[in-house]
Amino acid sequence: MRGFLASSIGVATAAALALPLVLPTSALAAVSPDAVAGSTQSLPLAPIGPATADRTPGVPGMSASPRLPETRGLAARDVKTFSLVGVVWDDVATQLHGRVQVRTRSTATAAWSDWQDVETHNGEHAADPDAIERGSGRIRGATAPLWVGESDGVEVRVQAEPGTETTGHAPGRLPSGLRIELVDPGLTSPGAGTDGKNGRPADDDKGEVVPGMTMEMAEASAANVPHAPMGANEIIALDKADSTADAAFASDGDLAEAEAAYIGPRPRIVTRKGWGADESLREPGFGYTSKVKAAFVHHSASGNNYACKDAPAVLRSLYRYHVVSSGWRDLGYNFAVDKCGTVYEGRAGGVSKPVLGAHTMGFNTDSMGIAVLGTYTSTAPPKAALDAVARLTAWKLGLFGVDPRAKTTLKSGGGNRFPKGQSVKLNVISGHRDGFATECPGKRLYAQLPPTRTASAKLQGRP
């Protein structure tokens, strides 16, 4: 079985061994001196409504009125520019039962938006309880993020559900430590100039290891050699015949010849460098599982108000929200797909490898997570995005000899649908809701999974 965590030293060594494949310095797309690092504003939410019962003291027969639901928020205010919002709280094990709403002011028009609902999320996109991320002590509870576009004003209100003692949570109460996170994706990766966390100059030992790349950037890029050279912004598409060679790097060369015949054509994949990931944000090294037996399809629940040219910025914002705001090791998803059908590398560790993600709590082992950027509860997913999911799963599942139309068995790592240790039979291409009680990936996207399985198998050349 593969080592669970690849060390930075080992990957740095791999980077050094890959140096003969390095492109000329001019082709490395070194970070522009005008690049602007992303940032996160974290603002506490204060009480804005009654939280205790009204009582008339000294009046016989007068009992306390029912406790009113707790409400917290933030009055409308000017803030530094941001593009994505979410709410976090102290304890990841505590759920937020209530309604989260925000309105924002556009920098382009100076107009305030209507109130928008933010999905409460409650742990469904997260590392498994015993995963390495859970030991960091930094993990927070978090809502889904919401992409609002470039804004410089915000107002927030969070109201608890009235609840009862039988609902399993404190009636009318909100989690402690509620904060609004305002994320600016920046213009691109800050590269060697800063540490990426707060704009300070990088330490001396974080200098370039290859031209235009820090050690962290080289570590992430080396994981995709030989699919692409060091410093590549994309991994090119291959036809079905040429994609067979990828299996040697995915499953240590142990895929049977008959199984290798069903590897789908590799799609074009924008690398982390290509979408501008700030590699200094994530934890060093990579977590791996032993294989990929299933693919869980998600929607990012971040809204559909983005242009495809903005998808890299959306992804940088999600990454920062997952790592800085929520405390995860890295972006939770293994891949992302935008509404125009572009495929993006997600969590670092190599696109053909079985990288351990944090996308479907309880079922991150031996699986991969694909997030379709947007919200598809009442909006139909674009055909381009569905086609991209079919292409990606045909290739990646094919690397591990898996039929997209089949069933597979995964062991639950613990979640709200299946207890830890239970063996669960699932579709190889499943929706998030199949492994966790959630609306994700949205009703309209979930309904498209059956034809996506068929399309994926056809791309693999299966009868």
Q: For residue range 142-180, what is the model confidence (pLDDT) as tens digits?
A: 999 999 999 999 999 999 988 644 445 566 899 999 999
Residue 122 pLDDT > 90: no
User: Where does the pLDDT of residue 259 fall: very low under 50, low under 70, confident under 90, or very high at 90 and above?
Assistant: confident
Average pLDDT in the 299-304 region? Answer: 95
User: Where does the pLDDT of residue 123 fall: very low under 50, low under 70, confident under 90, or very high at 90 and above?
Assistant: low
User: Where does the pLDDT of residue 438 fall: very low under 50, low under 70, confident under 90, or very high at 90 and above?
Assistant: confident
Tell me how far apart the alpha carbons of residues 404 and 427 are, in angstroms, rounded to a whole number. 8
Which of 75, 103, 121 has the alpha carbon at shortest distance from 302?
121
What's the confidence (pLDDT) of residue 165?
Answer: 47
Sign of torsion over alpha carbons 160, 163, 168, 169: positive
- Lowest average pLDDT, out of 38-47, 184-193, 260-269, 342-351, goes to 184-193
What's the confidence (pLDDT) of residue 377?
Answer: 95
Question: What pLDDT, in 10s, does the model give residues 313-340?
Answer: 999 999 999 999 999 999 999 999 999 9
Q: Omega into 66 within 30° of 0, i.e. cis?
A: no
Show me where the domains of the chain are located: 5-33+204-460, 39-48+69-184
Sign of torsion over alpha carbons 25, 29, 32, 35: negative
Burial of residue 386 (number of CB atoms within 10 Å: 0-12, 13-18, 19+):
buried
Residue 200 pLDDT > 60: no
Residue with tokens 């559909």: 304
What's the confidence (pLDDT) of residue 403?
Answer: 98
What's the confidence (pLDDT) of residue 235?
Answer: 98
What's the confidence (pLDDT) of residue 227?
Answer: 95
Residue 64 pLDDT > 70: no
User: Where does the pLDDT of residue 139 fall: very low under 50, low under 70, confident under 90, or very high at 90 and above?
Assistant: confident
Tell me how far apart the alpha carbons of residues 178 and 345 are, in angstroms, rounded to a whole number. 31
What's the confidence (pLDDT) of residue 258?
Answer: 72
Mean pLDDT score across all residues of the chain? 83
What's the confidence (pLDDT) of residue 436?
Answer: 86
Residue 202 pLDDT > 60: no
Task: Pick from 44-53, 129-138, 345-354 the range whose average pLDDT is largest.
Answer: 345-354
Residue 192 pLDDT > 50: no
Taking the model in full, what pTM does it have? 0.86
User: Where does the pLDDT of residue 120 fall: very low under 50, low under 70, confident under 90, or very high at 90 and above?
Assistant: confident
- Lowest average pLDDT, out of 49-53, 203-207, 370-374, goes to 203-207
For residue 41, the cross-strand partners are 182
- 209 backbone dihedrals φ, ψ, rounded to 5°: -105, -25
Question: What pLDDT, in 10s, does the model give residues 267-297?
Answer: 999 999 999 999 999 999 999 999 999 999 9
Q: What homologous superfamily does CATH list for 5-33+204-460?
A: Peptidoglycan recognition protein-like (3.40.80.10)
Q: Are 397 and 462 in contact (CB under 8 A)?
A: no
Q: Are 276 and 189 in contact (CB under 8 A)?
A: yes
Contacts of 180 (CB under 8 A, 6+ apart): 42, 43, 45, 74, 85, 86, 87, 102, 154, 156
What's the confidence (pLDDT) of residue 212?
Answer: 80
Tokens found for residue 163: 């609840």
Tell me how far apart the alpha carbons of residues 177 and 170 are, in angstroms, rounded to a whole number. 16
Looking at the chain, the whole-number percentage of residues with pLDDT higher than 90 is 66
What's the confidence (pLDDT) of residue 46?
Answer: 97
**C-alpha distances in Å from residue 247, one per residue of 194, 292, 398:** 37, 12, 8
Question: What pLDDT, in 10s, does the model give residues 404-437?
Answer: 999 999 999 887 788 899 999 999 999 999 998 8
Q: Omega into 190 within 30° of 0, i.e. cis?
A: no
User: Where does the pLDDT of residue 187 fall: very low under 50, low under 70, confident under 90, or very high at 90 and above?
Assistant: confident
